[in-house]
Structure 1
Amino acid sequence: MMILPSPRAVYRGLRKMLRFLARPARRAGSRGGPVIQTYRGYGSRDEVFLMGRVFRQPGLGLKLGEGPLDDLVNIARRTARWGIRDARVAVTVGDARASVTTDRDGYFSVQLPIEEPLPDGAFWQQARLELLPASEKSDAPSGERSVAATAEIYIPPREVDLAVVSDIDDTVIYTGVASKLTMMYQLFIAKARHRTAFPGVSAFYRALFHGESGERRRPMLYVSRGPWSIYDVLVEFFRLNHIPHGPVLFLREWGVTLQRPLPIRAKDHKAMLIERMLSLYQQLPFVLIGDSGQHDPEVYADLVARYPGRIHTIYIRHVHQGEDRDQAIQALADRVAQSGCQMILAKDSLEMAQHAFQNGLIAERGLQEVRADCRRRGS
């Protein structure tokens, strides 16, 4: 039986939601003009990868103080943001520097070689970004105030032994909750964060992050079929659920906007992103985690064939119905086994954790935490 929140809880939750939604516009300041929005990056000691977007944001022009009205105005400013095409952005990490140009929607990505060693012991490095003057033929802004931003980039320790790539939809989060409104209701009003994530998933991912020794700090990389517009919500979801955070790499920007009235197809983008990670972490074996509802088993099996010896284990969460799909996944498991990779079709996080512990991927303490969380949640 679903218990509805009290009016007081709804009010407090709505206030938190408003502050959360207003935060990006408020951080950018009250003045109008271009804004650089960054997403977490990832890298190695040799190169780093980073994505972001350049917006034009309307000014505030009012002094409303902190309160619901100010939140609503900043939410309106955030909604009215407009991606700037052909903007030039300089990206600096340590002594390495490169400049990139935004696409038609204001997005940019940079793959930056690192020649001078980055500081050891600092797993999160900071990138500095600056908007450069526009070229003559560019639609980007020129003659405006200096615009800068910073971004976090995860660099795993030298002794790391494994990298993990996980799907999000139907793998970490239940079907249907990866929508902005539903997730915000769960996070801020219903206080039902535990009903958003699968039982045991946060404990299992923490166990994978720390490894058998408890000190591995493995790179955790996440991909999703969702749009960039839910990035902030997912980051908050990961934080509140104590899931090891890493870059959240979305496959597409499919939301209908004035700039792009038709959705974009995302065929093969997941494989492309994983291939980029395999290239970046050339010395590391990978664990891939997905679900049986879409094409994860097929995509992952194809990667095993094209990158022999690189995929250590594949975990597939059982979310489908029908024996035909069971047989199809078993056939894929038999195929990848010939390359020394195991594909495990698991009914829950505990089954994944038990296999991971038996194969030396996680510590016993991690397994016990997964078991306790599943027992507490009735799984």
Structure 2
Amino acid sequence: MADRPRAPQRIRRLLRAIARPMKSDRGRGGPVVHPYRGYGSTREAFLMGRVFRQTRLGRVIPPYGALRDVADVARRIVRRGLPDVEVHVTLGGNDITVTTDHDGYFNAKLALHEPLPLDISWHRADLHVVTHDGAEPIHSYTDVYIPPEDTDLLVISDIDDTVMYTGVADKLRMLYRLFVKQAHQRTAFPGVSAFYQALYVGQSEEARRPILYVSRGPWSIYEMLEEFFQMNDIPVGPILFLREWGITWRRPWPRRAEEHKYALITRMLDLFDDLPCVLIGDSGQHDPEVYTRIVKEPPGGVMAIYIRRVDSHVDRERAIDRLRQEIAHTDCELILAADSTAMAVHAHDRGFISEKGLQAVRRDSREETS
């Protein structure tokens, strides 16, 4: 086992993680547009992002080292969104102009009148922003995922306590797990990587299915979650958060988001209305209630709900069992699973994953828990 990094090294890794999103402007400051990966169908596409202003680094700050990281962390804390700024989005031969909200966020729903190439799934969207202060126009781009025509299944998964241990909504705890703890102290649940890889490639091992992730966390941890997915070899997909927390000195608590997960998932199901779907969540929050509500409403299409059991409270298990009975008459099964292997066994029995995928989940679960 490698030696545990010393305290100064761990602090530097943590600082670098928080400061990393600020490096792209090379200290020049000014307006910045940060788009997130988008998703869509052959009919329409969605993408989101933020336009904000960053402070400029002084000349006394070196371009590298701990002092620069500290300065970039400070810049990240004080950056502010730019409201009422027009963002022009182009995707293939399609375009739309949207306006940022009071926090600087924009949400583009782009009708695809001009078809995109069918032989690729990831498409480049270009963004052009002109701010009100006469600064140089800002250009950026992001990727938009459009499933191939032969896609046979859509996977929508929660992140918090489903893919990774508790900590997504707690930014400091998440950063500690990702960048401070030793490598063998996993942030992902055992077998998660193999299970999601198996769902991604399907029974044919060549499916390349869309996997969309949702979280109750804020947009400000987007880069850290990308790092988490890469570190744990989990299939990449658009990471769709529920909300911007909007924490200020006057309002120190996150904005409420009870209905946001429901609205977001139903919107995705409407977008991919010709695809059967699997929903994955955990027993600790409201995933079972939200998911069964979705199953009971038209048009249906949810084939399975996998709920990771994250506690052993008898009352909670009874409540989930009642939800299972409520949808027993549908084509959907609700599985309360103790681990990734239990989910994978059912997914294999239903034909969602291959035998090879099931064995990979079993092997990885054993290795990660040993």
The CA deviation at 1:177 is 5.8
> In structure 2, how many angstroms separate the alpha carbons of the residues matched to 1:259 and 1:103?
19
What are the equivalent positions in structure 2 for 1:11-160 lying under 5 Å apart? Answer: 11-62=8-59, 64-132=62-130, 141-160=132-151
Match of 1:136 in 2: none
The CA deviation at 1:352 is 0.2
> In structure 2, how many angstroms separate the alpha carbons of the residues matched to 1:193 and 1:99?
46
Using a 3 Å threshold, how does the CA distance of structure 1 residues 45 and 304 change in structure 2: closer, same or farther? same
Match of 1:5 in 2: 4
> In structure 1, how many angstroms separate the alpha carbons of the residues matched to 2:343 and 2:290?
19
The CA deviation at 1:212 is 0.5
Using a 3 Å threshold, how does the CA distance of structure 1 residues 178 and 263 change in structure 2: closer, same or farther? closer
Residue type matched to 2:364 in 1? D
CA deviations on 1:193-213 (whole Å, 9 max, x unpaired) are 653111111110111011001
The CA deviation at 1:261 is 4.7
Question: 1:344 aligned to 2:335?
Answer: yes
Aligned length: 369
> In structure 2, how many angstroms separate the alpha carbons of the residues matched to 1:211 and 1:112?
29
Among 215, 220, 228, the residue aligned to 2:211:
220
Match of 2:359 in 1: 368
Q: Give 3-state SS (helix, strand or coil) of 2:315's partner.
A: helix
CA deviations on 1:161-206 (whole Å, 9 max, x unpaired) are 0100111111111124652222222222323465311111111011
Is this contact kept in 1: 2:196–2:235, CA < 8 A?
yes
The CA deviation at 1:313 is 0.6
The CA deviation at 1:80 is 1.7
The CA deviation at 1:327 is 2.2
Among 310, 318, 325, the residue aligned to 1:327:
318
The CA deviation at 1:301 is 0.8
Match of 1:138 in 2: none
The CA deviation at 1:314 is 0.6
Is this contact kept in 2: 1:308–1:339, CA < 8 A?
no
CA RMSD of aligned residues (A): 2.1
Q: Give 3-state SS (helix, strand or coil) of 2:295's partner.
A: helix
Moved more, 73-82 or 353-362: 73-82
The CA deviation at 1:341 is 0.8
The CA deviation at 1:38 is 1.2
Q: Give 3-state SS (helix, strand or coil) of 1:232's partner.
A: helix
Match of 1:239 in 2: 230
Residue type matched to 1:337 in 2? A
The CA deviation at 1:259 is 8.0
Q: Give 3-state SS (helix, strand or coil) of 2:369's partner.
A: coil
> In structure 2, how many angstroms separate the alpha carbons of the residues matched to 1:216 and 1:296?
27
Match of 1:307 in 2: 298
CA deviations on 1:136-162 (whole Å, 9 max, x unpaired) are xxxxx3311111111111111111001
> In structure 1, how many angstroms separate the alpha carbons of the residues matched to 2:152 and 2:300?
14
Is this contact kept in 1: 2:168–2:217, CA < 8 A?
no
Residue type matched to 2:90 in 1? T
Residue type matched to 2:69 in 1? D
Provide structure 2 residue ranges, at least 5 long, that are not aligned to the other structure: none
> In structure 2, how many angstroms separate the alpha carbons of the residues matched to 1:291 and 1:188?
25
Identity in percent: 53
Q: Give 3-state SS (helix, strand or coil) of 1:377's partner.
A: helix
> In structure 2, how many angstroms separate the alpha carbons of the residues matched to 1:193 and 1:260?
38
Is this contact kept in 1: 2:19–2:73, CA < 8 A?
yes
- TM-score normalised over the length of structure 1: 0.92
The CA deviation at 1:68 is 1.9
Match of 2:272 in 1: 281
Residue type matched to 1:350 in 2? T
